[in-house]
Structure 1
Amino acid sequence: MIELLSSGFYTSIQDNGRFNYTDFGAPLSGAMDQNLLSFANLLVGNSTDQAVIEMAFIGPKLKFTKAQTIAISAPKVKVFLNGKSVAINHQLFVKPNDILEIKSIQNWAYLSINGHLISEEKLESQSQYHSITTNKNLKKGDILKIKKSQYKFHKKHSNVNYDMSIYDCNTLQVYTLPEYQKLSRNEKEILSTKAFTISEKSNRMAYQFEETFENRLDAINSVPVMPGVVQLTPEGKLVVLMRDAQVTGGYPRIFQLSESSINLLSQKPLKSQINFEILKLK
């Protein structure tokens, strides 16, 4: 078992998401960085879609009651085991009564545990979301149980590599959506050449940009939307829908981020700048 001695800034259980229920208004949810979800699980010998503990900015302090094989994956995070700094993106072996503390996360980090993390499952997913699961995140004092993996664990999984340099990129690859065609030539030029600053208001529902972009477009009828859609609000703000976003929206749709760019954006520091690269469908 694992006891949360402190919960951190925002710590929740996430897997690869909640599919097939958008018709009922259920967001996809799931890990903000799906690539690191998979990587963290591979490090400990799990299937790539297993639930993990997702942590933002300041992580939790955890006490282990049993020996476990774990891994913490993130572009940048400081992790301490019994007060001593330990490496990330590798296997870690913890013993009974060990204390793990996760600090100074750049954005999102993932803690995987060999085996099955037992938690409430709703609509075929363990991803926590405020109007679907009983709790939207983990709290101090929570006790997490781990079911032993049905698969024989091989230590070779610790040799899985992941190129963290991809997070140094500041370019988001996008495809154009219907309302983009209604923009003027000058407005299109601005979108393809200007840098945009990630707002501190960004969260699991949406990432916002600080700059104002003139909006001459009319509102549209509410239509289905998904993570990665870039909307233009009446105030002229560009908003990128993220994993917990609503499933319908009436703001003009400008872009759709590629899946890799959704993962990249989720890990960009607040106040950092990005630009858009428009791709053409083949």
Structure 2
Amino acid sequence: MAQKVGVATDLGIPLSQNVVDDGQRVLPPVIRSGLAGLQMDVEKDIATILKEDGRVVPSEIDSIILSHWHADHIGDPSTFPSHVELVVGSGFKDAFLPGYPADPNGVILESDYAGRPLREIDFAAGLEIGGFHAMDFFGDGSFYLLDSPGHAIGHMCALARTTPSTFIFMGADGCHHCGSLRPSKYLPLPRELSPSPFSVPPYLQGTICPGSVLEAIHPSHSRVEPYYSRLAPAPSHNVPVAEATIGKMIPFDASEDVFVIIAHDSSLLDVIDFFPGRVNEWKKNGWKEAGRWRFLEDFKGAVARDSN
């Protein structure tokens, strides 16, 4: 609820004494080899950020909740005290234990979980929210974990209550681009968009983009189908299940009382506040409205080609 403190690292959302996704760090050899040639820079780990801010220190954290095991999300849990539990999704233990070096081909490190409680969420209790199997993490309706497989084994999203009637849907890697969620039958393309994402510079006050332009660059020229409706096959991804997860996310995204934020949505960087700021008043601040169609800037090349 609104008065709890803590941090969700991908989103900067106050959540209680818990950390959701822990960023990046040194990786197991099998992962390093797979990422050869890809540069990922991390200025500070989460434990350091918390220590420097001082309002919530690592020793006060109760849980680290991993949306999934991928290298850009798991961070280094070993930088937190051993009492801090590591919370993972369904199937994690069978799929990924033991870690490296006990398993030379392990995709996580033994140090991620060694010497600390490792809790795998059981979604069999029967709670369901918007089609997702869910778990009321605190038992008070303030924060729910959502079983959202497909992208990775054990992948979870989360639903955090920000006021009595509003929520933030923490989408993690449920999808990688907002074009997988918008437009939809619940949220059609606008008849016009102002300011225009295709102005120079983008979002120049007073500029207008006609909806016909947005429809013209849509692969199906549709106002009610997402720009991206098919996922490409990828190693370790279950594409049909991942697409089903996205389908469940779309109604949340269209709700005026739910702000869906996905981990790799850079279009929100200059819209929302990050830790140590709070996001409880996201609706009052107009963040969802301001950020809803900003992903369209990614399609400026298609607009330029269409106009030639």
Structure-1-length-normalised TM-score:
0.27
Higher strand proportion (structure 1 or 2): 1
Higher helix proportion (structure 1 or 2): 2
Q: Which is bigger in relative contact order (C-alpha 8 A, separation at least 6)?
A: 1
